[in-house]
């Protein structure tokens, strides 16, 4: 199976604002990844629908903290 270009998140600078989630026209990303922002338990965006992602980069251009890139991934990754 071919790899597909989908969003890849760098969580270090993420401020959990959810702008990318709302920017996604097909709801392929959501605030479902539970992790820590500093000492605070928080939710972070992640790709939840690999097949649904249309690779439009709307999430990339929407992120004020420049936390999202596009990268080639296999579904299993």
Per-residue binding letters, 24-63, with another protein (x by CB under 8 A): xxxx--x---x--xxxxxxx--------x-----x--xx-
Q: Is 72 in the site for another protein (CB under 8 A)?
A: no
| Assigned token pair, 45 | 């965006």
Please give the angle made by the CA atoms of 46, 50 and 30, to the nearest 5 degrees.
30
How many chain residues touch another protein (CB under 8 A)? Answer: 27
Question: Does 4 participate in binding another protein (rule CB under 8 A)?
Answer: no
> Could you tell me the sign of the dihedral formed by the alpha carbons of 48, 50, 52, 57, in that order?
positive
- The answer to whether residue 64 forms part of the interface with another protein (CB under 8 A) is yes
């Amino acid at each position: 199976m071919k790899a597909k270009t989908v969003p890849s998140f760098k969580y270090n600078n993420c401020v959990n604002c959810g702008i990318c989630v709302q920017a996604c026209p097909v709801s392929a990303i959501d605030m479902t990844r539970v992790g820590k922002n500093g000492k605070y338990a928080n939710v972070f965006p992640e790709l939840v629908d690999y097949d649904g992602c249309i690779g439009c980069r709307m999430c990339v251009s929407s992120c004020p903290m420049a936390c999202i890139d596009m990268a080639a991934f296999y579904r299993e990754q």
